[in-house]
Amino acid sequence: MRKNGNAPVGLIVGLIFLGILGILVYLYNSSLFEREAPQIALEKEIEWNLKEPIPVRVTDNVGLRFIRATLSDGEKSIVLETKELKTPQMLVDLNISFPKNGFGANKKIFELTIEAIDASKWNFFAGNEGRAKSIIKVDTKRPELSIIGSSYKIMKGGVASVIFRAQDDNMKSLYIETNFGKKFYPTPFHKDGYYISLVAWPTSIENFSASVVAIDKAGNISKAHLPYFIQDKKYRLSTIALEDRFLDGKIADIVSEVSPERASLTKLEKFKYVNEDMRKGNEAAILKVTSVVPTQPISDFYLKPFYPLRNGKVVASFGDHRFYEYDKKPVSESYHLGLDLASNAQSGMQTSNDGTVVFAKENGIYGNNIIVAHGLGVYSLYGHCSSYLVKEGDNVKAGDFIAKTGVTGLALGDHLHFGMYVQGVDVRPEEWMDEKWLKESITSVMESAKKIIDR
């Protein structure tokens, strides 16, 4: 009888035990008892100019309830910021500023500690603690920066050179900043700490100004204005009446070949697509290739004048701003970014200087298109080729034939579209065909700068 009487009691005790165990398992796996420490985004070492605050981001899955930032100079410590959050937050951004009470005067090395505790009930309701430390190196000295030599002038649509000295043990960024947002990047020149760069003034930009900018890891900035004489130039404006035979012929053929899914567009829609959308994509491909700047040091950079087509006659100028009309109504517009040269049909195109073929493929309105890199961010472009005599990766020598003229792409007659690019910017080919300009703007500037550097 007693055995039978004890059975329900044992069962009840067992159920209670399982219930408690289940509750413990549930709580153990509940987000209330989350066991992951807060994450603190803090670099191990930071260069600091004491001007700009140090940004620190702290995150946690269940929310943060306490954060403290402490700075030590090796002898004393000071609490820079404390946050006690009544409502837990999953993300907190700190902006750590240096104390203004004379703490750590004349010290150059500090240790920054960030502590964070989350709202978890783990650790007997104390929460999870995260801690991160960073060595702070104080640097309030700006980089040394000085112009050694430069071209006298820059023309709208043209190019100029600059050679400068930039020195800082913790240099982070070095570039030429322009008023139109383009950055030009320098190449190491002749001796350690010296640099050279070419800069360009696009035809679509009315005014030009530029400065060399040097920024160190602490955020200290030095700037040096480039003292060019600014020479404006007016480029041709032309209005072109679109003819049906051109729209139904060349334009329809390009759309059919490159983008057959647009065959149902009207003739004017096809023209706008080719002249605007396709052109934009083709020029983006050119920009990508011609924006690469060599980083290997140089002491010399000599180019002969470019004459890509023997007995070539200029049939279209660089920088033309073209407006297209149909039935005397505006349809579209574009800029002509090269020099069109014509000779006999399928004449041989030559490269006038050594270089490397970095692009050799079909490119929409440019047809079969070749681009050659000559160093220092300088590229020559050859469009509308009927055939290739080189391939990508080939090294070419001055005088080599690289292609033959043709009518591929948006070309009505057999000719060469010749372009010059500096760090992705299309520039006046005429300058690069002028021996005097090459000497005055590049070669002589380099020679004079080397004499100053070698003193």
pLDDT of res. 102: 80
Q: Is the pLDDT of residue 74 over 50?
A: yes
Q: 3-class SS at 18?
A: helix
pLDDT of res. 28: 56
> What band does 106 get if pLDDT is binned at 50, 70 and 90?
confident
pLDDT of res. 23: 56
pLDDT of res. 18: 63
- Residue pair 95/37 in contact by the 8 Å Cβ criterion: no
If you ran DSSP here, which 8-state letter would residue 33 be given?
G
pLDDT of res. 143: 98
**34-39 LR contacts (CB < 8 Å, sep 24+):** 34/61, 34/62, 34/118, 34/120, 34/122, 34/128, 35/120, 35/122, 35/128, 36/60, 36/61, 36/128, 37/118, 37/128, 37/129, 37/130, 38/64, 38/116, 38/117, 38/118, 38/128, 38/129, 38/130, 39/130
Provide the residue count of the chain. Answer: 455
In the block, tokens 């040097």 appear at 214
pLDDT of res. 100: 85
Query: What are the tens digits of pLDDT across the range 369-428?
Result: 999 999 999 999 999 999 999 999 999 999 999 999 999 999 989 999 999 999 999 999
Percent of the chain at pLDDT > 90 equals 89
> What is d(CA 278, CA 420) in angstroms, rounded to the nearest whole number?
20
CB atoms within 10 A of CB 303: 20
What is the rounded average pLDDT of the residues 30-37?
Answer: 81
Q: Is the pLDDT of residue 120 over 70?
A: yes
C-alpha torsion 432→435→438→439, nearest 10? 180
* Distances from the Cα of 271 to the Cα of 205, 262, 333, angstroms: 26, 11, 11
What is the CATH topology of the domain spanning 237-423? Glucose Permease (Domain IIA) (2.70.70)
> What is d(CA 423, CA 288) in angstroms, rounded to the nearest whole number?
9
Backbone torsion region of residue 252, taken as left when φ is above 0, otherwise alpha when ψ lies between -120 and 50, otherwise beta: alpha
CA angle 40, 43, 44 (to 5 degrees): 110
Q: Is the pLDDT of residue 158 over 70?
A: yes
The DSSP line for 316-359 is E-TT-EEEEEETTEEEEEEE--SEEEE-STTPEEE-SS-EEEEE
**271-276 LR contacts (CB < 8 Å, sep 24+):** 271/242, 271/247, 271/324, 271/331, 271/332, 272/331, 272/332, 274/364, 274/365, 274/410, 275/324, 275/332, 275/334, 275/365, 275/410, 276/332, 276/334
Return the CATH class of domain 144-233: mainly beta
pLDDT of res. 11: 72
From the candidate CATH numbers 2.40.50.140, 3.30.110.40, 2.60.40.10, 3.40.50.150, the one assigned to the domain spanning 32-138: 2.60.40.10
Query: What are the tens digits of pLDDT across the range 196-210?
Result: 999 999 999 999 999
Domains 32-138 and 237-423 share a fold: no
Q: Is the pLDDT of residue 31 over 70?
A: no
Query: What are the tens digits of pLDDT across the range 83-101?
Result: 999 999 999 999 999 998 8
pLDDT of res. 124: 84
Q: Is the pLDDT of residue 108 over 90?
A: yes
Average pLDDT, the chain: 93
What is the rounded average pLDDT of the residues 321-350?
Answer: 95
Query: What are the tens digits of pLDDT across the range 372-383?
Result: 999 999 999 999
The residue with greater pLDDT, 310 or 437, is 437
Q: Is the pLDDT of residue 302 over 80?
A: yes
Q: Tokens representing 244?
A: 């049906």
Which residues, listed in sequence order, are joined to residue 349 by a DSSP beta bridge? Answer: 403
What is the rounded average pLDDT of the residues 225-230?
Answer: 96
Q: Is the pLDDT of residue 4 over 60?
A: no
Q: Give residue limits of the domains in the chain.
A: 32-138, 144-233, 237-423
pLDDT of res. 429: 98
Percent of the chain at pLDDT > 70 equals 95
